[in-house]
Amino acid sequence: MARLTKRIVDAAEVRDADHFIWDDELPGFGLRMFRSGKRSYLVQYRAAGRTRRYTIGLHGVWTPETARREARILLGRIAQGENPSEERRLDHQAITVKELCERYLEDADKGLILGKGRRPKKVSTLTIDKSRIRRHIIPLLGTRRVKDIASTDINRFVRDVTAGRTKANVKTKARGRAIVRGGAGTAARAVGLLGGIFTYAIGQGIIEKNPAHGIRKQADRVKDRRLTEQEYRELGAILRKASKNDALGIAVAVARFLALTGCRRSEAVSLKWTEVDAENSCLRLEDS
């Protein structure tokens, strides 16, 4: 086998069973190709008379080159008598859900957690993730060891969040408050994030099975409320009246923009001139 490159990794065939592709340039460094199509980088070595494997991480989060650099460091430690696989095993036995969440967010802040479109999560998305972790996941599961979490615990988590056990009204700033509500929608989004965190744990070799997989969530009552023609006329009259107050100029412009375009509030306040297509009378949002 030649040097592992992105082209070779992407072209690796899926077989009926897991198999390995080894790098000729750096002995011990390789790629594990799962029958599911997932790919992960690893180092293989011997310690205490046994063959050990240490997973570096998933392809996509790691590239062949970044994984190779990490492999060189690991193989150097192994040459000095260390056993990183055993160290990780002992570490993983003790890691709590709170500690796992901290590792997840640390990697997410580095752009190593991929979201929609296989792109790093946006800052706004991470802000919401951090809030859900802080308000729901840690209070209910934070002290539990990750390896001890079962699907029954996740079902209980969903029930507790739905019932409002984590709801709160917390002062956050001099003039700000965080109002945390329960409900089916909140529970569904929180367990969705929790499932992603456990998937991350699988990629890190902490657990082998995702306890949140297959959990049934109550359907969120999605609101589909649209303004009537009369309500639009009333809104227009209110905005025309408010526009006479110079102090409300920007707020009125944003409200009118939202009403006419259907954009989200965050899209309106962060809109750039480069996203405005005046010639075709439309917006071309770079990231929506």
| Same structural domain, 102 and 83 | no
| Same structural domain, 170 and 234 | no
Write down the pLDDT at residue 1.
59
Number of domains in the chain: 3
Average pLDDT of the chain to the nearest whole number: 88
Q: Is residue 175 over pLDDT 80? A: no
Q: Which residue has the higher pLDDT, 88 or 191?
A: 191
Q: What is the mean pLDDT of residues 257-278?
A: 85
| Last residue of one domain, picked from the residues 52, 87, 122 | 87
Distance in angstroms (rounded) separating the CA atoms of residues 20 and 24:
13
DSSP single-letter state for residue 136: I
| Same structural domain, 151 and 240 | no
Write down the pLDDT at residue 130.
95
**Is 223 within a domain?**
no
Q: What is the mean pLDDT of residues 258-281?
A: 85
Containing structural domain, residue 164? 95-203
| Same structural domain, 19 and 67 | yes
Residue 104's nearest CA partner among 146, 49, 156 is: 146
CB burial of residue 166 (10 Å; 0-12, 13-18, 19+) = buried
Write down the pLDDT at residue 170.
62
| Same structural domain, 197 and 244 | no
Local confidence band at 223 (pLDDT 50, 70, 90 cut-offs): low
Residue 151's nearest CA partner among 213, 100, 207 is: 213
| Same structural domain, 196 and 106 | yes
pLDDT 10s digits, 130-163: 999 999 999 999 999 998 999 999 999 999 999 9
| Same structural domain, 183 and 110 | yes
**Is 288 within a domain?**
no
| Same structural domain, 65 and 117 | no
| Last residue of one domain, picked from the residues 43, 70, 87 | 87
**Is 216 within a domain?**
no
Q: 252 φ, ψ to 5°?
A: -65, -40
**Is 224 within a domain?**
no
Write down the pLDDT at residue 174.
57
Beta-bridge mates of residue 171: 177
CATH number at 34 reads 3.30.160.390
Which of 96-105, 146-155, 167-176, 235-244 is the least confident region? 167-176
Local confidence band at 88 (pLDDT 50, 70, 90 cut-offs): confident
| Same structural domain, 176 and 266 | no
Inter-axis angle of helices 97-109 and 123-132, to 10 degrees? Answer: 170
Q: What is the pTM of this model?
A: 0.58
Q: Are the CB atoms for 234 and 173 separated by under 8 Å?
A: no
Element (H, E) at 192: helix 184-203
| Same structural domain, 186 and 140 | yes
CATH number at 187 reads 1.10.150
Q: What is the mean pLDDT of residues 266-282?
A: 85
